[in-house]
């Protein structure tokens, strides 16, 4: 037990002997089924977590898995736009129903609940964390094989609440090829260890630019560190995503499912091997 323990585990990240992680797991809605949950996280914002989340969900759906995305980035939701979803979620007393993409992926995001997509969410931390939990407990997720959670940046209230309240099978860490990348990865990996959640893969976004004419690759944001970081931290799979205007174009047009996701193949294999909920 940590020194000066307040005995309030709900607001503490210490991995002490008195903590029973299972006791904090929140139940799904009685009409919902989810078999596996994968969180996409980073120790820093602006690295492309939502892009990687969307691409992993698109790949899962294309491979025949019943797929869902829980957008836990409450104040900066972007998942619906990537899939071209603009309609509001419907609900009734005690239940919210997910919105479906054209491809059949189930979504829940704060943007699906706001009167206007551009309205800001000006809430304090406890309310934001509570909303992320409600997307798990109050949404009637329909027979989901793999759920991806798009996490907000950092290691604050929402990531802590998600890891304590939702039975996460593993995380995928997203980063970029910059000098501070090791610190970003270390924060995310250490949080995963504290929460006893395995790191399944590392996706390095903006890893290189490939000239469309000569096909030569240029590491315009610095030398790739993905392979070394995977080896250093024992991460089983890595991926290098290019700087590609076509990806941005498709995401802005709500057609992220048309992006080639082959670069994430090795990470997805680790997701397939991750233990389902309850195992």
**Each residue of 37-88: pLDDT tens digit?**
999 998 777 889 999 999 999 999 999 999 999 999 888 888 999 999 998 9
The whole-angstrom separation of Cα 50 and Cα 70 is 11
Cα 117 to Cα 12: distance, rounded to the nearest angstrom: 33
* CA pair distance 54, 259, nearest whole angstrom: 10
pLDDT, residue 12, reads: 55
- Decide if pLDDT at 135 tops 70: yes
Strand partners, 90: 97
Q: What is the pLDDT of residue 23?
A: 65
> For the segment 9-42, what is each residue's pLDDT rounded down to a tens digit?
544 545 454 445 566 899 999 999 999 999 999 8
* Model pLDDT, residue 1: 45
pLDDT above 60 for 7: no
- The residue count for the chain: 279
pLDDT (average), residues 257-266? 96
Nearest C-alpha neighbor of 159 from the set 135, 191, 127: 191
> Is residue 40 within 8 Å of 149, Cβ to Cβ?
yes
Is 24 exposed, middle or buried, given 0-12, 13-18 or 19+ CB atoms closer than 10 A? middle
- Average pLDDT rounded to a whole number, residues 228-245: 94
131 is written with which tokens?
Answer: 């909303």
Q: What is the mean pLDDT of the chain?
A: 88
CA dist., res. 218 & res. 160, Å (int): 37
Give the separation between CA 227 and CA 32, rounded to whole angstroms: 38
pLDDT of residue 18: 42
- pLDDT tens profile 167-220: 999 999 999 988 677 787 888 888 888 889 999 999 999 999 999 899 999 999
Cα 11 to chain centroid, rounded: 21
Q: Quick one: pLDDT band at residue 4, thresholds 50, 70, 90?
A: low
pLDDT of residue 185: 84
The structure's pTM equals 0.89
Phi, psi of 183 (to 5 degrees): -65, -40
CA distance 232 to 195: 20
User: Is residue 141 packed enough to be buried (19+ CB in 10 Å), middle (13-18) or exposed (0-12)?
Assistant: buried
CA distance 109 to 70: 7
Quote the longest CA-to-CA distance of the chain.
62
């Amino acid at each position: 037990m940590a020194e000066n323990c307040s005995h309030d585990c709900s607001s503490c990240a210490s991995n002490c002997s008195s903590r029973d992680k299972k006791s904090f797991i929140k139940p799904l809605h009685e009409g919902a089924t989810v078999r596996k949950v994968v969180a996409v996280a980073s120790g820093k914002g602006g690295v492309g977590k939502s892009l990687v989340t969307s691409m992993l969900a698109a790949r899962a759906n294309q491979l025949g898995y019943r797929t869902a995305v829980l957008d836990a980035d409450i104040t900066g939701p972007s998942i619906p736009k990537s899939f071209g979803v603009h309609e509001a979620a419907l609900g009734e007393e005690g239940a919210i129903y997910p919105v479906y993409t054209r491809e059949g992926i189930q979504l829940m995001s704060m943007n699906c609940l706001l009167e206007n997509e551009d309205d800001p969410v000006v809430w304090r931390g406890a309310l934001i964390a509570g909303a992320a939990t409600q997307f798990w407990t109050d949404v009637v997720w329909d027979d989901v094989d793999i759920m991806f959670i798009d996490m907000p940046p950092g290691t604050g209230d929402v990531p802590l609440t998600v890891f304590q309240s939702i039975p996460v099978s593993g995380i995928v860490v997203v980063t970029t090829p910059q000098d501070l990348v090791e610190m970003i990865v270390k924060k995310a990996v250490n949080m995963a260890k504290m929460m006893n959640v395995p790191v399944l893969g590392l996706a390095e976004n903006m890893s290189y630019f490939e000239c469309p004419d000569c096909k030569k690759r240029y590491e315009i944001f610095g030398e790739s560190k993905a392979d070394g970081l995977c080896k250093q931290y024992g991460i089983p799979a890595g991926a290098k995503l290019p700087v590609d205007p076509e990806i941005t174009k498709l995401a802005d047009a709500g057609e992220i499912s048309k992006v080639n996701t082959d670069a994430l193949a090795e990470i997805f294999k680790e997701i397939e091997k991750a233990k389902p909920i309850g195992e």
